[in-house]
Amino acid sequence: MDSARADVLAARNQLATRGWIARQAEAFRHLPPPAAAVWLGEQAEAATRGCEAHPLGGAGWTLHPVGETAQGRVDARWLDAQDPVQRAELFAGLPLPGDDEAAPFVWAHRALCRQGLRLHIGGIPGADREPGQTVWLQLRHQPRTAVEAPLLVIDVQAGVRCVLVERHEREPLNCQHAVAQNLLVHLRLGAGATLQHLRIVVPDAGDRVAHQLHAWLGRGASYQQALIAAGSSYHLQRNRIDLHAEQATARTAAVLFAAGSALEQQVRVSHTAAHTASTVEALVLASGAAHAVVNAHTHIAPGADEAAVQQHLTGIPTGGQPRLVLRPHLEIEHDKVQAAHGATWGALPEEALFYARQRGLDEHSARGLIVQGLASALLERGLGGPELMQTLAIDTLLGSAVARHLAARQTAAQEAGHG
């Protein structure tokens, strides 16, 4: 038996021995995930047959420029996890699943993973003479099969600044079935590196999606993530960020849209070194019978002097009777820190709607203007200013997402009225 096959069987054995995520698991008790069989393909064999999309048709990971920006030095390796040699390279240096509540997802990923991409992001030639240059990248992923477990591993070299756009938006390729996707992303930032990461995840309504991202930051490294995500049959976005070196900083800002769908974001940040800082912000907009959850958990370990932590979660029901759960949580084991957290839940402010209507806007347009303003301000804070918002045309992306969400809300209201 080859080593790749042995690794797959070992992962399945671990999953069988440890069991799937229990319904009483604290991190998942508000929105339990589908059973393990869904992520292993055991409920979709018929759909998977005839659903193979070739990479030359745009399936899997594809690398694209960002406008006319510089590409820099990027080493990219597309690897076949079914080949023993390539599998060893793909998983090299990655930790085995731990004992946390999401570990079954990682074991299921290891059991099913067939393809992956490793990126090593270096500097631009001559950048030593011209500090401040940035590597710009855009990654797009299209499903290859109806049940899949893609892998992405990114190493950012010490001192390098990188802007990464990662897009998951379904297009009608060879596979048009509802997809069960269990994605794992590993990010490793060297000392002094900066990664500004825009993630756009818009699955089809029937898709079941679980994305786990694990980031390790070196001394003085900075990670900034802006997320725009929409709900589906089941949609989990889980970030784990390790600040294990001094002066490392992380910010995450998410705008989440759930219109009659399910969506959960989990952000877990660990401060184990002095002078580290993290900020977690989320704005979730829910309508109809949507079920949306935001879980933020930040741990400050003993010895993490002068750690600075902020959490702010906001939920806005935009129509219907959605279920919104906001859970900020701090676990502090050190005295010399600065920490604040909070959650707000409620409808759009009537005063803002009134003033927007005074400008001649109808109610639908007024709502869209206010929601987009809130979302834009949040993502701008997450990315550290307006410059990147303009370069990446994020306001245009937000405008489309807000319009889709409010249109779905309006359609649902009309259907309820006719009913």
Domain ranges of the chain: 3-245
Listed ranges 31-45, 131-145, 278-292, 349-363; the one with the highest mean pLDDT = 278-292
pTM: 0.92
| pLDDT at residue 53 is higher than 90 | no
- Give the model's pLDDT for residue 129: 39
Is the confidence at residue 287, as pLDDT, over 80?
Answer: yes
Local confidence band at 50 (pLDDT 50, 70, 90 cut-offs): very low
Residue 366 is predicted with a pLDDT of 80
Span 306-335, pLDDT tens digits: 999 999 999 999 989 999 999 999 999 998
Which of 103-107, 108-112, 296-300, 342-346 is predicted least confidently?
A: 342-346
Please give, one letter per residue, the 3-state secondary structure of the chain: CCHHHHHHHHHHHHHHHHCCCCCCCHHHCCCCCCCHHHHHCCCCHHHHCCCCCCHHHCCEEEEECCCCCCCCCEEEEEEECCCHHHHHHHHCCCCCCCCCCCHHHHHHHHHHCCEEEEEEECCCCCCCCCCCCEEEEEEEEECCCCEECCEEEEEECCCCEEEEEEEEECCCCCCCCCCEEEEEEEEEECCCCEEEEEEEEECCCCCEEEEEEEEEECCCCEEEEEEEEECECEEEEEEEEEECCCCCEEEEEEEEEEECCEEEEEEEEEECCCCCEEEEEEEEEEEECCEEEEEEEEEECCCCCCEEEEEEEEEEEEEECCEEEEEEEEEECCCCEEEEEEEEECCCCHHHHHHHHHCCCCHHHHHHHHHHHHHHHHHHHHCCCHHHHHHCCHHHHHHHHHHHHHHHHHHHHHHHHHC
| Confidence (pLDDT) at 66 | 82
